Structure 1
Amino acid sequence: MTAPQPKAPINWIAVFALIFLPIVAAIAIPLYAYHHDFSLAAWISMFVLLGVSSLGITAGYHRLWAHRAYEATLPLKIILMIMGTFAVQNSILFWASGHRTHHRHVDDVEQDPYSINRGFWYAHIGWMLRDYPSGAANYKNAPDLLNDKLVMFQDKYYVPLVIAVHAGILLPIGWAVGDMWGVLLLGGLMRLILSHHVTFFINSLCHMWGSRPYTDENTARDNFVLAIATWGEGYHNYHHIFQYDYRNGVKWWQYDPTKWLIWSCSKLGLAKNLRRIPSFNIKKAELAMKFKYAEQDLAVYGHNVNEDMATVKLRISQEYDAFSQTLNDWAKLKELEIQAKKASVAEKIHQIDDKLKMEFQLVEQRLSHHRQTLNLLVNNLKKKAQAN
């Protein structure tokens, strides 16, 4: 009989920030509201500063430093570092390195720092309350960050920076609006708690609730409601298959203010080299999942429409073969493009590019056709099953 494993030691700093401070807020804020009430300016400070700290994490810690999804000028990096420090989620180095480990070992209960397979509570907050081995700092995956002077400066002076940033933001606002305690309680304390849990939703709910339109190889989900709550990070299924894209919401209607902020900074000359996954790769992943879901629908609804089963299976099989041929054609076109650019003189490349672009567009149109045909087949199957 093996001896029980000792529990991981408690992280008292995390307990103070994540357990004690919310208790203080639950007592102090209602008491202050009862005796003094909060000014409108204090409420506004809470919402505005929530955006500041949350975007510091999503645009800075996450998409800039953890994934290198774009490049930022030094002034923008300093601003994002200050915004992220204001969120009090540890240093850029610790946060980004741990997040890279999460992507590399997603859902692994031993190596993923916040694996959802250990439960909602653990993924949301529990992994920080004890010093679990999976959450220990290991910067072998972050040589770029170790060579970043700004990142290392923040890591070295993190605690003084947290104090300085909070004093430099909250005290002038409280003095200017004439409600110091209101701003400290709402714009400071309540905003900090909300900012924490907005980020924690990405680790917990975004791995539990929503759809998987691009991959089912991990637990990450896309969810419009969570995208609103998490400043665009809710399209998490897309992010886990295409983590180096500066966007999480790639469709025009998807809510992703972090993407809009990065794009706006690029137009102002503050950011460059915004990385985007080619649209064909996105459509390919989306359509491959549609074929998987079509097979599942056949298994669920097919027994109710036996007379049409052979026809439906044949049509889906034919459509999948056409899809595979489309992928082969795309690969050949990419090879032709590479060879043409190597072999052609500069003045001929433009002509070749124009021709290849037209052929690429035709291939993408074929992908759209496959998706429409597949949707039609599945919808007809469901309608016939319901009718029977």
Structure 2
Amino acid sequence: MKKPPIIWTNVLFFSLTFLAAITLVPWYGFSYGYTSTQWIAFVGCMFYAGLSITAGYHRLWAHKAYDVHPVIEVIFALGGAFALQNSALHWSSDHRIHHGQVDDPIKDPYAATNGFWYSHIGWMLRDYQGEQYGNYSNCRDLQKNKVVMWQHRHYMKLVVATNFGIPLLLGLMLGDVWGMLLLVGLLRLVLSQHFTFFINSLAHIWGSRPYTEKNTARDNGFLALFTYGEGYHNFHHIFASDYRNGIKWYHYDPTKWMIRSLAAIGLASKLKRTPIERIEKAKAETLMNKTQGRLAKLPLAQDKLTLLQSEYDLLLKKLQHFCALQKRVLEIKRNKMMKQCEKSALMTQYHELEAAWENQKQAWLALNARLLKASFS
């Protein structure tokens, strides 16, 4: 099969900016030095560009995980141009195709099944999309968004204005234009792009799959440190409309924290959050399938499979009872008419069901661990 033609503009751009970043930036640093203030400006601009992609392009526009005030949309649109990863409309269109056709070597724009290089950057170096490039039929909702379409129409102007204007302005303020052009202009651009690209590549290769094994997406807490919380990719691929990627309080997800902060001050609303019942069911089903697959290869495994199924059914039953009561508790908290004694009785029942479910979950996890260990011995 003949390969599509090379897009030389992209090849030269990615090659030259990378080479310049690994040569000119350290050379200038050794020759003239960078101040701590310049490094603070660099980190601030990294976060601005990165969060504009994760909170704006990704969770707001591609997945509609929440709504936001138009002023914040403009800030994201400018930051997206600063990140130089195509317009929000084009980026979102590609990303929606990726989720709909994930891992398909032909239809997924950056399919991980085509290898690390392809999913990281190779997909942008040849004209793989062909006539499909510029087909935004899957983004009719975004074509009605004034900010998205304004950015799309003026994208290249905004790219030039932000990628030269912001470093120049900071350089004039700090008295070192060349230093800021190299740090905030060049190094920030290269790093912010490749950090995003790691989600398409590494996050589909390296990590765990606790929520689904139906695609290559992985959860990787280490990658989350460099991608503003996007490293919890296995969760994201099954619950894409959730405004969170890291769902635990200790998961590093500054994108989630920023969205939540915007909501707290009235600049964001309608934050979509996956019910705990769906999340726990997905985890239980994934582990169940994994353990069943291992046990099925062993002789005389029927008794173990029967026990596994019994514990699995009991887990789901207790989870269902707990979540049903949890919904009722939330409704009652909104209804202040219930008597205090009735509330106390209900909360006692709630905590009992929660404990029963947690105990069953621990028993379920222990059983799986024991059976999986036995399958290897």
**TM bucket by the smaller chain?**
0.7 to 0.9
Alignment of 1:93-172 (within 5 A): 93-133=89-129, 136-172=133-169
* 2:49–2:79 CA contact under 8 A, matched in 1: yes
**1:123 shift after superposition:** 0.3
> For 2:85, which of 85, 89, 99 is the aligned residue?
89
Q: CA RMSD in A?
A: 3.0
Q: Distance in 1 between matches of 2:140 and 2:351?
A: 39
Distance 1:141 1:310, change over 3 A: closer
Q: Distance in 2 between matches of 1:149 and 1:358?
A: 51
**1:320 shift after superposition:** 2.2
Alignment of 1:174-323 (within 5 A): 174-298=171-295, 312-323=304-315
Q: Matched residue pairs, number?
A: 368
**1:136 shift after superposition:** 2.3
1:376 aligns with 2:366: yes
TM-score by length of structure 2 reads: 0.87
Cα shift readout 1:112-145 (whole Å, capped 9, x = no counterpart): 0000111110000000111112772321111111
**1:385 shift after superposition:** 7.3
Q: Distance in 2 between matches of 1:348 and 1:266?
A: 25
**1:30 shift after superposition:** 3.3
Distance 1:273 1:357, change over 3 A: farther
Percent identity between the aligned chains? 43
1:24 — aligned with what? 20
Q: Distance in 1 between matches of 2:201 and 2:352?
A: 40
Structure 2 portions without partners, runs of 5+: none
Counterpart of 1:139, as a letter, is Y
Counterpart of 1:126, as a letter, is G
**1:166 shift after superposition:** 2.6
Cα shift readout 1:321-364 (whole Å, capped 9, x = no counterpart): 32454577689x59x98xxx9xxxx989979x979998887766
Q: Distance in 1 between matches of 2:160 and 2:272?
A: 34
**1:289 shift after superposition:** 1.5
* 1:73–1:270 CA contact under 8 A, matched in 2: yes
**1:365 shift after superposition:** 5.1
User: Does the residue aligned with 1:315 lie in a helix, a strand or coil?
Assistant: helix
* Worse-superposed segment, 102-111 or 160-169: 160-169
**1:381 shift after superposition:** 4.1
Q: Distance in 2 between matches of 1:14 and 1:299?
A: 49
Q: Distance in 1 between matches of 2:51 and 2:371?
A: 44
Cα shift readout 1:230-256 (whole Å, capped 9, x = no counterpart): 110000000000000000000111111
2:55 — aligned with what? 59
1:72 aligns with 2:62: no
* 1:9–1:130 CA contact under 8 A, matched in 2: yes
